[in-house]
A and B are shown apart, each in its own frame.
Chain A
Amino acid sequence: MNPVENIVEVTVFTAEMFVVLSPILFLSFGIVLALLLIAWQRSQKMIAVFSQVILVFTLLLSIHLLSGNILSGEGVQITTLLKVDQFSYLSLSLLCLSALAVVSLSGQALKSQIEVHDEYYLLILLVTLGAAILVASDHFASMFLGFELLSISLVGLVGYFREHKYAVEAGFKYLILSATASSFMLLGIAFIYSQTGNLSFAVNSAAMSWSPVPLQLFNSVGILLFFSGIAFKLSLAPFHFWAPDVYEGAPTPITLLMATVSKVAMFTVLIKCCFSQGYYNNEYFIDVIIIVALLSMFVGNTLALKQQNIKRLIAYSSIAHFGYLLIILLISSEQSIDFAWQSALFYLSAYILANISIFTIVLAYEKQLSQNGQERDVRIDDWQSMFWHRRTEAVLLVVSILSLAGIPLTMGFIGKFYLLNQAVISQSWWLVSGLVIGSGIGLAYYLPIIFTVFKPSEKNMLKSHHPKGVLVARPRIFITLLIIISFYLGVFPDSFSQYIM
């Protein structure tokens, strides 16, 4: 690097920025260290512990910075590319939390294979880094880089168990899906750039009214393409092809990673972009959002009705959940941005917590099945009479299913309440009715799971499905902890929502 550039960087990059950016810097540094660690010694146990340590530290750093008073109000702009505010820290903590859960849950899924799986953990860390860049980005270029880091690492992870029956299929479908998504998004960015002349989020595209009519058309098409690119990644309704297949074919911890880290990061960046570009003033865009949201609620909930495979069911239900979340984008004015962020983050936290809980149990049962010599996905029937044999897990499952369904005294209910409030404030009655009807249909597939859990076992059923004491100490503590957190946050949501404010 020549000296002139050096001087420029020193003036641009202050110590405060280093502090603000430290979680992301730490994460990237950790990835480099992990690479060196692999070069030094290939040991799966070591890399697993190491990546957990990195994620825990990143989580602690971001929580520390969130509670500290470094960020007052507007947030800190770090060059033109990144902007970190309290909401980015909060979603970063959520991301680290879910990545941590994925890493901790992966151990047993990997055990059945003989090789050393260094790359697996490395890829998870890279996905987390991509997501972290996404939530901090304030520029289309940095957003694009985070997006690709996230997608390409995820493609590798989806097809990770190469000998698995569906590995190639799921991997290839995800590759095509994410490549199509990124080209749609990029074309959208190119169109927006051709009109605004600036790639930063902060430039308000609504102000660009000087250009002639055909060019304004390109701007609208650009916004639409950009949104549909992100909608592909969030698997919203008209863009949801293959998403359930990918969920089913991916290794189960990776399904959790896709359902949480990737979606939360994408949704955060979507909110960030829409709010700072002022798309909520664009009536045309709002109509599109309403249609996509309604379609997602309807399609997700209806297709989930007849699913027996848990992973597919979660896939369809997540389509519906992100349909509900789109309500957030319809804010009426700039004053309500903070409230919209709070609602979104609360709902996302509830969603993440419920998903982590459900997948913990799915993985425990998958392990059980593979010990019985059956390599297949967990179906709802496998959970029959769970309550009478494995009580702690059953309680956790019931709580998280209720939370997803949005029954009172769970986090999910409060989240839905926030969303309903948003929809009423923005007076979009279509979305209000969509949310209500969607939740009603949702009960039709959530409640049967609970019925199955409580159903007494039939005589001919193998007892070996639910042997007692199969859980070693660590998962049991984890599960108990999850139950306590879910209950606590469900009954006292204030303790968490104050934290968001």
Chain B
Amino acid sequence: MTEIPLTHVLILSSLLFIIGFVGVVVRKNTLFMLMSLEVMLNAVGVAFIGAGSVWQEADGQIMFMLVLTLAAAEIAVGLALLIRMQRRYRTLNIDVLNQMKG
């Protein structure tokens, strides 16, 4: 098996990260914004695992597990907020959340 260079892994993860970030910024539906956040976190996971395998250490994989835990916790809170939003505004469109101005 040929080894994959670290640069390629990092570039892949940067691309994934940018896709996720663009999703967060551009998407109007809050559910998709949360999903894009997941993409960003998984991109980080790719980078950690790639780096960990280059250094032959478990640190990268452990960080990935922590990232997964974070993603789960964040989505739990996010979905709870989403349910509140759906009940209150009857829509998941982010545009209803702009009442504060000043």
Give CA–CA (A494, B40) in the complex, Å. 48
The 0/1 profile, CB within 8 Å of A marked 1, for residues 42-86 of chain B is 011001101110110101101100110010011001100110110
* Chain B contacts for A197, CB-based, 8 A: 51, 54-55, 57
- Range of interface residues on A (Cβ < 8 Å): 35 or more
- Cβ < 8 Å to A, chain B residues 20-48: 20-21, 24, 30, 33, 37, 40-41, 43-44, 47-48
- Return the contact of B99 from the options A155, A162, A166 (Cβ within 8 A): A166
A68 beta carbon closer than 8 Å to chain B: no
Asked whether any CB of chain B lies closer than 8 Å to the CB of A187, the reply is yes
Given A215-B6, A218-B10 in contact, is the A168-B97 Cβ separation under 8 Å? yes
Whether the Cβ atoms of B30 and A148 lie closer than 8 Å is: no
Chain B residues lying within 8 Å of A156, measured Cβ to Cβ, are 77
B41 touches A186 (CB 8 A): yes
A409 within 8 Å of B (CB atoms): no
- Assuming the contacts A165-B99, A179-B74, A245-B100, asked whether A187 and B63 have C-beta atoms less than 8 A apart, the reply is no
- A175 interface hit (Cβ, 8 Å): yes
When the two chains form their complex, are residues A193 and B48 in contact, meaning their CB atoms are under 8 A apart? yes
Q: Are B24 and A176 in contact (CB under 8 A)?
A: yes
Asked whether A176 and B37 contact (CB < 8 A) given A141-B66, A159-B84, the answer is yes
- Report B48 CB to chain A, min CB distance, Å: 5
Contact B74 A191 (CB under 8 A): no
B-side interface residues, number (CB < 8 Å): 46
Contact yes or no, B100 A215, CB < 8 A: no
Q: How far is the CA of A309 from the CA of B102 in the complex (A)?
A: 8
Most buried by A among B6, B99, B102: B102
Flag if A144 contacts B66 (CB, 8 Å): yes
Contact A183 to B102, CB < 8 A, known contacts A175-B81, A199-B59: no
Cβ-defined partner of A183 (8 Å) among B40, B73, B99: B40
Q: Are the C-beta atoms of A191 and B10 separated by less than 8 Å?
A: yes
B90 within 8 A of A: no
Tell me if A183 and B41 are in contact (CB < 8 A).
yes
Instruction: Decide if A173 is an interface residue (CB 8 Å cutoff).
Output: yes
Measured CB to CB, the closest approach of chain B to A233, in angstroms, equals 14
Return the CB mask of A151-189 against B: 1 if under 8 Å, else 0. 010011001001001111111110110011011001101
Q: Is A497 an interface residue (CB 8 A)?
A: no
Question: Is A307 in contact with chain B by the CB < 8 A criterion?
Answer: yes
Contact of A172 with B81 at beta-carbon distance under 8 Å, contacts A180-B40, A214-B7 already known: yes
Q: For B20, B59, B66, which residue has the most chain A Cβ atoms within 10 angstroms?
A: B59
Q: Given the complex, which residues of A lie within 8 Å of B99, measured CB to CB?
A: 165-166, 169
- B81 contacts A190, C-beta separation under 8 Å: no
Known: A169-B97, A176-B33, A190-B48. A248 touches B77 (CB 8 A): no
Q: Which residues of A contact B78 (CB under 8 A)?
A: 172, 175, 179
Q: Is A249 an interface residue (CB 8 A)?
A: yes
Dominant secondary structure at the B interface: helix
A428 to chain B: which residues have CB within 8 Å? none
Q: Is A180 a contact partner of B44 (Cβ separation < 8 A)? A: no
Which of B33, B43, B59 lies in contact with A193, CB distance below 8 A? B59
Write the chain A residue with the least CB distance to B37.
A179
Q: A172 contacts B85, CB within 8 Å?
A: yes
Which residues of A430-472 have CB atoms within 8 Å of chain B's CB atoms? none
Q: Which residues of A contact B67 (CB under 8 A)?
A: 186
Shortest CB-to-CB span from B93 to chain A, Å, is 12
Q: How far is the CA of A166 from the CA of B66 in the complex (A)?
A: 32
Q: Are B51 and A190 in contact (CB under 8 A)?
A: yes
Residues of B within 8 A of A215 (CB): 6-7
Given A169-B100, A183-B41, A141-B7 contact (CB < 8 Å): no
Contact A187/B17 with A175-B77, A179-B74, A307-B102 known, Cβ cut-off 8 Å: yes
Q: Is A145 an interface residue (CB 8 A)?
A: yes
Tell yes or no: A278 within 8 A of B by CB.
no
User: Given A148-B73, A183-B17, A309-B102, do A190 and B44 touch, yes or no (CB 8 Å)?
Assistant: yes
Given contacts A186-B44, A193-B48, contact A155 B77 (CB under 8 A): yes
Is A312 at the interface (CB under 8 A from chain B)?
yes
B44→A187 contact, CB < 8 A: yes
Q: Which residues of B contact A170 (CB under 8 A)?
A: 100
Query: Do A152 and B84 have beta carbons less than 8 Å apart?
Result: no
Interface centre among B41, B50, B81, B98 (most CB of A within 10 A): B81
Instruction: Name the one of A155, A168, A190 contacting B47, with C-beta atoms under 8 angstroms.
Output: A190
Contact partner of A194 among B54, B70, B74, B77, CB < 8 A? Answer: B54
Of all A-B residue pairs in the complex, the 4 with the closest CB atoms, nearest first, are A194-B51, A190-B47, A183-B40, A197-B55
| A interface residue numbers (CB < 8 A to B) | 140-141, 144-145, 148, 152, 155-156, 159, 162, 165-173, 175-176, 179-180, 182-183, 186-187, 189-191, 193-194, 197-199, 214-215, 218, 244-245, 248-249, 307-309, 312
Please, could you name 23 A-B residue pairs with CB atoms under 8 Å apart, sorted by A?
A145-B66, A159-B84, A166-B99, A168-B84, A169-B98, A170-B100, A171-B81, A172-B81, A175-B74, A175-B78, A179-B37, A179-B78, A180-B24, A180-B37, A182-B70, A183-B44, A186-B44, A186-B63, A190-B13, A191-B47, A197-B54, A214-B7, A218-B10
